[in-house]
Amino acid sequence: MHARQKLETTLELDMENEQNPETYSHPGQPVRHSYPLAIQKAGVGTALGLLRKTLPYALVRFGILVAFSLCSVLWWGGTIGGGTYLLSRENFFTTILGWGWFIAGAGGYGYLWYTVLRYFLYLIKAGHIAVLTELITKNEVANGEKNMFVYGKDIVTSRFAEINVLFGLDLLIAGVVRAFNGTLNFIGGMLPIPGLKNLTKVIGVVVKAMTTYIDETIFSYNLARGDNNPWRSGRDGLVYYAQNSMEILKTSVGIVLLEKVLVLVIWLAFFLPMIAFVRLMGDPSALVGFVVFFAFLMAWNFDKAFLHPLFLIMIMTKFHVCAKGQAIDETWDARLEKASGKFRKIKDGIKEWKPSGPAPSPVAAEGPADEPAAPSPEPPAPAPEPPAPPPEPPAPTPEPEPPAPTPKSAEPPPVSDAPPPKDPPPPPEST
């Protein structure tokens, strides 16, 4: 029975692929994708080349982050300054107003960041990932027919529902990756050093760095694969990540080391010129705090706008290269499901995703729950109902005919009465 259900699932998924010939997705096959790759290896050089080609996206992101950072300084200055002034009045009314001012300012800032700006930056990132995926798979954007911003906007617009799902799927994927990373048992083999407990924190930092980019990498995998179900590609992407976690972890070690060094260099690049300029103005002690804070702020923005995309590209390229032509190992499905309940939620999302239609997930172990897809024959039933009403209108046409004969039957009597008056004239002619 299970083999039959699996065969039916495979046939349904193959039919779905035939309906969309543009897709490189093969959910019912051992190798779940067949998209091309324009890169042969993953590394810092490849990542720098792709970042250079998509530099306008990084510049736009940097400008938005800098503007938001400056507005944040003004916002918090007004929030803290206004609240402190009201509290210093030592009045019951101003005390209540001061605390209200501070709470409203902090709450408004949190709302703007987490619900508005963060989502807006996510959409920009989605466009950037779409362009990067085109370059990784085809080495050009839309066959050279579109500007990268136009192409990114078109992808975000056409796949807006999937991007919204991935925006929420981010938390589920991060939870699954964190749970899985906690079960990794190859650290000891990778670093055969006595006293590994002293390196636990370092390994934790590496694992966290790897977790940061996996959800975005899975979005790239979804775009490259062309799957119309983001939950399904998310599930398969997590399994492929688990299969190649050692290779991706090695890349993450290099990312952590490179990030620490580059952030320090960038901070010094902003700090040293500013402190030198302040020294020329006289006593710099009064402005040292401001210079340190400003340099830190600019280094953070530079990290998010330029270094984060660079490290993301490193993880993305490593993932795509490792997964190329690779058959999926379903044993990782059970391991991930055991490691995190959030993985089960992702699998449930495969069935609930409406655009995917009756096509179920690659995991057909649910059995009867997927069989209700048989209602597909029900749609033909309503189809014949519309043609039934048209023949009914001609029925009322014979109704106007009965009144026509009735007046004709009434007309003969007067016709018979007419001839009698015409009979009298003949007799006088004979006389």
**pLDDT exceeding 90 applies to what percent of the chain?**
22
Q: What is the pLDDT of residues 167-181, one digit of tens each?
A: 667 677 777 877 776
Confidence of residue 200 (pLDDT cuts 50, 70, 90): low
Radius of gyration of the chain (CA): 37
Q: Which residues contact 307 (CB under 8 A, 6 or more apart)?
A: 259, 262, 263
Claim to verify: residue 299 and residue 320 sit in the same structural domain: yes
Last residue of a domain, one of 307, 337, 367: 337
Claim to verify: residue 145 and residue 180 sit in the same structural domain: no
Q: How far apart are CA 325 and CA 303, in angstroms?
A: 34
Instruction: Write out the H or E segment, with its range, that includes residue 296.
Output: helix 288-302
Instruction: Assess if residue 430 is contained within a domain.
Output: no
Structure-block tokens of residue 227: 């799957």
Q: What DSSP string runs through 239-251? A: HHHHHTHHHHHHH
Structure-block tokens of residue 313: 């590209």
Instruction: Assess if residue 88 is contained within a domain.
Output: yes
What's the burial of 345, exposed, middle or buried (CB within 10 Å: 0-12/13-18/19+)? middle
Q: Which residue has the higher pLDDT, 354 or 39?
A: 39
Q: How far apart are CA 265 and CA 271, in angstroms?
A: 10
Claim to verify: residue 232 and residue 111 sit in the same structural domain: no
Confidence of residue 155 (pLDDT cuts 50, 70, 90): confident
Q: Please report the sign of the dihedral spanned by the C-alpha atoms of residue 64, residue 68, residue 69, residue 71.
A: positive
Interval 362-385 mean pLDDT: 39
The CA-based dihedral angle spanning residues 179, 183, 188, 194, taken in that order and rounded to the nearest 10 degrees? 80
Burial profile 8-45: b = 16 or more Cβ within 10 angstroms, e = fewer: ebbebbeebbeeeeebebbbbbeebbebebebeebeee
Predicted local confidence at residue 316, as pLDDT: 94
Claim to verify: residue 292 and residue 326 sit in the same structural domain: yes
Claim to verify: residue 138 and residue 175 sit in the same structural domain: no
Interval 312-317 mean pLDDT: 94
Q: What is the pLDDT of residues 52-103, one digit of tens each?
A: 999 999 999 999 999 988 888 888 888 888 888 888 887 888 888 889 998 9
Q: Which residues contact 106 (CB under 8 A, 6 or more apart)?
A: 79
Residue 327: pLDDT above 90?
yes
Between CA 352 and CA 366, with CA 357 as vertex, the angle to 5 degrees is 50
Q: Residue 340 — φ and ψ, nearest 5°?
A: -150, 130
Last residue of a domain, one of 337, 372, 391: 337
Residue 203: pLDDT above 60?
yes
Average pLDDT score over the chain: 75
Q: Which residues contact 288 (CB under 8 A, 6 or more apart)?
A: 275, 278
Claim to verify: residue 141 and residue 211 sit in the same structural domain: no
Claim to verify: residue 138 and residue 213 sit in the same structural domain: no
Nearest to 205 by CA among 257, 266, 261: 257
Structure-block tokens of residue 55: 């530099």
Instruction: Assess if residue 250 is contained within a domain.
Output: yes
Claim to verify: residue 326 and residue 264 sit in the same structural domain: yes
Q: What DSSP string runs through 175-238? A: HHHHHHHTT---HHHHS--S-GGGGHHHHHHHHHHHHHHHHHHHHHHHHHHT-S-HHHHHHHHH
Weakest-pLDDT range from 68-72, 271-275, 411-415? 411-415
Claim to verify: residue 262 and residue 174 sit in the same structural domain: yes
Instruction: Assess if residue 110 is contained within a domain.
Output: yes
| The total number of structural domains that make up the chain | 2
Predicted local confidence at residue 315, as pLDDT: 93
Q: What is the pLDDT of residues 116-126, one digit of tens each?
A: 787 788 888 88
Say which amino acid occupies 267.
Answer: W
Claim to verify: residue 214 and residue 309 sit in the same structural domain: yes
Residue 6: pLDDT above 60?
no
Q: Are 232 and 17 in contact (CB under 8 A)?
A: no
**pLDDT exceeding 70 applies to what percent of the chain?**
69
Q: How far apart are CA 402 and CA 409, in angstroms?
A: 12
Instruction: Assess if residue 299 is contained within a domain.
Output: yes
DSSP E strands, 120-164: none
Residue 151: pLDDT above 80?
yes
Instruction: Assess if residue 319 is contained within a domain.
Output: yes
Residue 306: pLDDT above 60?
yes
Claim to verify: residue 142 and residue 228 sit in the same structural domain: no
Q: How far apart are CA 33 and CA 36, in angstroms?
A: 9
Q: Which residue has the higher pLDDT, 53 or 379?
A: 53
The domain containing residue 138 runs over which residues?
50-158
Interval 130-136 mean pLDDT: 93
Claim to verify: residue 97 and residue 229 sit in the same structural domain: no
Predicted local confidence at residue 307, as pLDDT: 93
Interval 31-50 mean pLDDT: 92
Last residue of a domain, one of 278, 312, 337: 337
Instruction: Assess if residue 267 is contained within a domain.
Output: yes
Instruction: Assess if residue 68 is contained within a domain.
Output: yes
